[in-house]
Structure 1
């Protein structure tokens, strides 16, 4: 347990350093390699803590805390990888501190109710697709928030401070829909593969999760169609992205919170 505590503390410090480095990069033009190095250390430490927290006595434990930490780690990993090719550093002001907080949450909210033995590879594939979809759509939601702030800044006065270093609105919107499109594709695959494991929605406590996931999928489908057919952008794009993401968060974490912490059950 002591090792896990050290790993989590190191994770939080590394992500805090990465967040500060992102700020210096955007505000002062400091070198971005500091962000890459510190975030990389945080990613390694966080996955180490996740391994020690989720693998107990030869069983896989995926409780609310570890699921949230794994989900945040994957979003941070995707951001780190994307940042190697193009400037999306502004997202790090949200994603990296969020990942650090989630790592701490996994330590403070352990759960043994979700322990299982070996999982069949099709179910593992479904879990992997779900995590990847959540990670991409998380980046999309954060991008939507940054885009909304950028629109607000431009309507009030000429850009200043951090906003002068952000890419043009058209570029930011293009990145938003790329993230949503990729996340939607993986979400579609996750829903399709998840349907293979549903025997009884009520007995498996999957009604709310399934319904909300389908509503989220429909939101993103309409948003992508509207973008392609009618050229939706600006407030419509931001609100659609955040609404769909909100439903997705409620589908998984809301359902898991009620089931595990209130009802003492699990999927």
Structure 2
């Protein structure tokens, strides 16, 4: 958690001190944080009877994936404004996971196909969550530009470049989500059972939203607010699919 805070501080320094960036310091602190976070999750999820895939463990794992991907991509995407939020949020989820331990055991040793399905789903969610953060950043920068308040900092990417990266991320996320849904349909016989049908339906709805967004962009020239809001709707549907029922069961009902 300390390393996450140091990485966030270094990113803030990069934003406001463009002539004296601390990209190496940020990368080192973030690398230490991600490595220690990964060791903690390995001990919490794997080194227990079965696999402890509680809601907080899964949420913390998603935050780790997002932090790791963005640490690798930030220099190319120039989205330094997002990094303090990503690192602080990952630290908060790590703290919550440590302070409020919970258990939801699954036994995946004999079912590698289910592990593949879950892994693809978490990777797809992480990629599309990053896309949603970039959509929010795009909205913020567009508003600042229209208000003539956009400063010319190296930490801010050009709007057209940011939009191009946004659609690339959405496309890759949709491909991975398609693989996740396909493996679920192929390997999970209870995917549409009464207790799991809502997850499948919401996930497929989110897939339809993102596919519609890509189609609208390439064939109808969708840009701006329509792209931003559609991306956020897709992310919200995926969040409900992945965490909605788990939140009700583990937090509200306590089992």
Same-fold call, TM cutoff 0.5: yes
Residue 170 of structure 2 contacts residue 210 of structure 2 at CA under 8 Å; is this kept in 1?
Answer: yes
Q: Once the two structures are superposed, what CA deviation does each residue of 1:234-253 show, in whole Å capped at 9, x if it has no partner? A: 11111111110011101111
Q: Which deviates further from its counterpart, 144-153 or 190-199?
A: 190-199
The alpha-carbon distance between structure 1 residues 171 and 120, as it changes in their structure 2 partners (threshold 3 A), is same
Q: CA RMSD in A?
A: 2.0
Q: Which runs of 4+ in 1 moved over 4 A?
A: 201-204
1:40 aligns with 31
Q: Could you say if the C-alpha distance between residues 171 and 128 of structure 1 is closer, same or farther in structure 2, counting changes exceeding 3 Å?
A: same
1:141 aligned to 2:132? yes
Which of 223, 243, 248 lines up with 1:233 in the alignment?
A: 223
**Offset of residue 261 of structure 1:** 3.1
The two structures have a TM-score, normalised by structure 2, of 0.92
Report which stretch shifted further, 198-207 or 129-138.
198-207
Q: Distance in 2 between matches of 1:204 and 1:256?
A: 15
Q: 2:182 aligns with which of 185, 188, 192?
A: 192
Between 1:23-32 and 1:213-222, the stretch displaced more is: 23-32
CA-to-aligned-CA distance 1:94-144 (integer Å, 9 cap, x gap) = 211111111112223322233425242211111111111111111111101
What is the TM-score of this pair, normalised by structure 1? 0.88
In structure 2, how many angstroms separate the alpha carbons of the residues matched to 1:172 and 1:203? 40
Distance 1:119 1:18, change over 3 A: farther
How many pairs does the alignment contain? 253
Which structure 1 residue ranges, 5 or more long, are not aligned?
1-11
What are the ranges of 5 or more consecutive residues in structure 2 without an aligned counterpart?
none
The range that moved more, 240-249 or 119-128, is 119-128
CA distance in 2, matches of 1:63, 1:237: 33
